[in-house]
Structure 1
């Protein structure tokens, strides 16, 4: 399925297969509600048409699609043994496929019908793909800071992580107004992966007032000159977090 749509530079994309029926239906409904355009491609042909999702009926296992304006193209779609789909949702590319499409009527108008896909692929540029880190047992980054008696290694809990950087919580406001500043030799202990060392640059800051009126500061940090090996460790940890998240969603489905 992916070979039809993926372009060069694939190493810059993170892909994840969604198998939770509940999540697949929710994603398809969001695509329909936002009227996202979907490319349909008949396998083995350069036959592409654009459609939208009109409705998703989980109980009847149906996805209703708009027909092509070209009747001959509709006939080819219905006769095809494999059709690939590509669309996007919130900057994430969505890929899925169908082995069979049939004609139907929806709200009195001709339409196309297919079964809810068993799996779906999400693609997102790696540097934008962020995963929230655990709250109960937070991952921490140790940042060397100048103290009264020399350098101290101050720990900060992570809020999320991507291949481009991390977000940290500076609850004690230890870093001050430090946007643009770089901190060298920062150490992050990634559970079951290992400790990575990197330079962090503070890119943005957000102050939040909690219910108890305490101030909490979230800092977005960018990795600077991350080595290929360290990047691979970060990616392995993100993949692990995502698998755990998907397992929880599947358990709710």
Structure 2
């Protein structure tokens, strides 16, 4: 099997070197993370370089210089992946986010079924949960629609948000937050990126009297976050970083 030339370049969303310290460049370490993901039957979100349309696929096998992923479920997406010099790939394992670009992909097979073979990337963004720092969006800019067990849907303000969770504020007359409760099917409206659906596990609750006598804040963790939702949240967080960096440079 001939080697495939590897192409890798930073995503345009990667904020002027802000995340450089979280990149892995050592090929053996990159293979290690990919093999961990393959061993856990991890799911990847993949999109062609020039497209915003991604699709989930399975990481099947990791070799020395390449790895295999399952083919997408539609011919249109398969043609897009094969026709792109670079694929944008994202996944997660043990609450760490993996993100990289590589290509081109070519058709191959795995255990008698079609698969795509992709070069091992030259670098990989590896963000552990502790590196998902919380950001504060502008006041009133971000809301979360909570779906409650009784069927009601209420709107809560988002005080801060990160890759691993968020803090929401709502009135106690509307909802009584319970520690360890899981709220499924909640929806976050991300400016310019659209809605994402998340499951939230409440980790702690604080009464915020300075926000109003009826206000309570819940610190929540994302549960079973889908790769597509993770990608949108990651982009939103980087947009907040860009805005903050631009304000700081303007003040200087």
Q: Which is richer in strand?
A: 1
TM-score (structure 1 length as normaliser): 0.47
From the CA coordinates, give the structure whose radius of gyration is larger: 1
TM-score (structure 2 length as normaliser): 0.48
